[in-house]
Amino acid sequence: MESVLNSIDSPKDLEKLDLKQLEQLARELRTLIIETVSRTGGHLAANLGVVELAVALTRTFDPARDRLIWDVGHQGYAYKVLTGRRERFSTLRQYEGVSGFLRREESPCDAFGAGHAGTALSAALGMAAARDRQDGDEHVVAIVGDGAIGCGISLEALNNLHGTTQRLIVVLNDNEMSIAENVGALSRHLGGMLANPRYNRWKGSVESVAGKMGLAWLRSAYYKVEEAAKSLFLRSAYFEEMGLRYVGPIDGHNLSALLDALDIAKHARRPILLHVTTRKGKGFAQAEKEPEKWHGASAFHLETGKPITTNDSPPYSQVFGSVLEKMAEQNDRIVAITAAMAAGTGLSGFAKRFPRRFFDVGISEEHAVVFAAGMACHGFTPVFAVYSTFLQRAVDCVIHDVCLQNLPVVFCLDRAGIVGDDGPTHHGVFDIALLRPVPGLTIMQPADESELARMLLTALQSGRPTAIRYPRGPGRGVAVPQEVTPLEIGKARIVRQPESGHAAGALPGGPVWIWALGDMLSTAESTADLLAAQGVAVGVVNARFVRPLDTALLARQAQDARLILTLENGVAKGGFGSETEEALTEMRFAGIVLRRGWPDAFVPQGKADILLERYGLTPEALARDVVAALKKQRQG
């Protein structure tokens, strides 16, 4: 059979396809997505669930002119292929390749970029309001997942919808992961009727006649009857009261039904919501069976679904989850909180073992922080496990509701630092700079799995607000001891003492000290090896704490050090290095301070080794920087 997909170079190419060809196109898209993600990794389950929806939307609207806003972008792969990126799709999530999310700079068809959930409705409402004031006629469509519709930003947008615009289309993609199914035969029948073209033509005729005859009461009465029927048989009253006409549920894998429903939406005379039901992971058995597991997949074998690369060391999130469970066995005041990421943050086991002490609040990070503060007020010790990049939304709550009241909430920031292929929306590089100025907040980062366990115990026993950040993936393979002991807060650890250089051409003078934070410790040790080989006396410190910084140790080293280098897996501006340099300035340190971390820019997607090389964070580049600075100091 001749490929339909290979003939699609732009959305215009879909106009010539009949229904059977569109269905074939959907099948080919699904195959392409599975094969590509098996090589590159990516968000598989959600994208497989919206293939037909992407085809129908691209066929119905003009993506280069109409504004199609995909919430998060977890759902955007098929849309990318259909909007001119088919030939480059093999570069998905690779350095300088196609992004795993929607990005305005990547295509004019990407109306709004996002990697965090819940922004589509607000953005769409803003675009619709702007269009209305410019007398435009383009359509604005927000495609929102059922998890994102409960996000605080989405609820604020819904609250603001009434009176803002009369032309807005919302497609609610319900993949049965968050919104309960509408129940009963009458519900299904009424939903089908509301999405039927003949019903909507009749409805349109009634509205038109009422308008021409000036019978406003007739139109008003019709709406009241329709909304009363929906309230009786459908769970749609909420949307109706927010000013959205509800249509659905619609089978999201039935292209004919989708095309009919979208045509209805195009001609609606008021804001409209299409409730589309889809199956997450559709077309790939493993993803259909375990959609949460396959939400974000690493590269895998197509035949078995097993990861291509494995590491014997457990990831930090798994270590965190297992250690927290053991500590919760001994302390019934420990509670765990997640924002729709139980598996990703390592809390699935905790949820099964302690269901009454586990809370998944959905995609609502601000609420999660204040909820934790409320529990802390009643004597509990809440542990909020969240990706670093997602805590950004709740920084005000961390300050105002936790730290200002000195409440013992523990923030466990997973995926802290560069996470590579997911790109700038997911790089957890800003948390130190955002949290460092907050009074009373302890911030620490482990260098290995054992330290993570010790830091978790330290935080739970401290009785104060604490943040622990740790990277994605496996640690250094250091086993967690049976008996975990706490750390002394604010104390760093020397892991290498400087030795006098004896190599030819050795640079005379005092030692160089490298203060490394967390996962940058191994880079520091490799850098020290390279410097020692060039005759530089160099020592290495595992900083452990961003705040409080071990200023006593720093002051002792500052007395004779020529240069102090700081390393962190976060932005250098305002981060751990800045904390260290500020302390050295107060000590009137006369030597050189080099701060190394990620640049004052949004770092692109790509494998970690590529990014480290590009931004000068390899041991070789760091050693060159140190030697160059020392030589410049001598010449000066």
Catalytic annotation, residues = 280, 365, 393
359 Cβ neighbours under 8 A, 6+ residues apart = 335, 336, 337, 338, 371
Which residues on adjacent β-strands are paired with residue 387? 414
Backbone angles phi and psi of 299, in degrees to 5: -55, 140
370 Cβ neighbours under 8 A, 6+ residues apart = 397, 401
Cα separation, 562 vs 558, in Å, equals: 8
Which residues on adjacent β-strands are paired with residue 358? 336
591 Cβ neighbours under 8 A, 6+ residues apart = 510, 558, 561, 562, 563, 564
Encoding tokens for residue 184? 């009963």
Cα separation, 292 vs 178, in Å, equals: 12
Which residues on adjacent β-strands are paired with residue 516? 542, 567
Cα separation, 428 vs 446, in Å, equals: 16
Contact between 494 and 550 under an 8 Å Cβ cutoff? The reply is no
Encoding tokens for residue 422? 């997911």
Tell me, rounded to whole angstroms, the distance of Cα 79 from its chain centroid: 20
**From residue 56, how far is each of 8, 27, 263 by CA, in Å?**
14, 13, 10
Maximum distance among all alpha carbons in the chain?
100
270 Cβ neighbours under 8 A, 6+ residues apart = 166, 243, 245
Cα separation, 511 vs 189, in Å, equals: 79
Is residue 178 exposed (0-12), middle (13-18) or buried (19+ Cβ within 10 Å)?
middle
DSSP 164: T
615 closest CA partner among 445, 420, 472, 413 = 420
CA angle 112, 117, 123 (to 5 degrees): 35
Query: How would you list the strands of the sheet with 358-360, edge to edge?
Result: 358-360, 334-338, 381-387, 410-414, 466-469, 442-444, 545-547
Cα separation, 516 vs 525, in Å, equals: 9
CA angle 161, 165, 169 (to 5 degrees): 80
276 closest CA partner among 67, 20, 45, 50 = 50
- Residue 225 CB neighbours (<10 A): 10
State the virtual CA torsion across 118, 122, 125, 130 in degrees, nearest 10. -140
Encoding tokens for residue 192? 């089908």
Backbone angles phi and psi of 529, in degrees to 5: -60, -45
- Residue 528 carries which side chain, given as an amino acid letter? A
Tell me, rounded to whole angstroms, the distance of Cα 616 from its chain centroid: 26
Cα separation, 514 vs 218, in Å, equals: 78
Cα separation, 210 vs 217, in Å, equals: 8
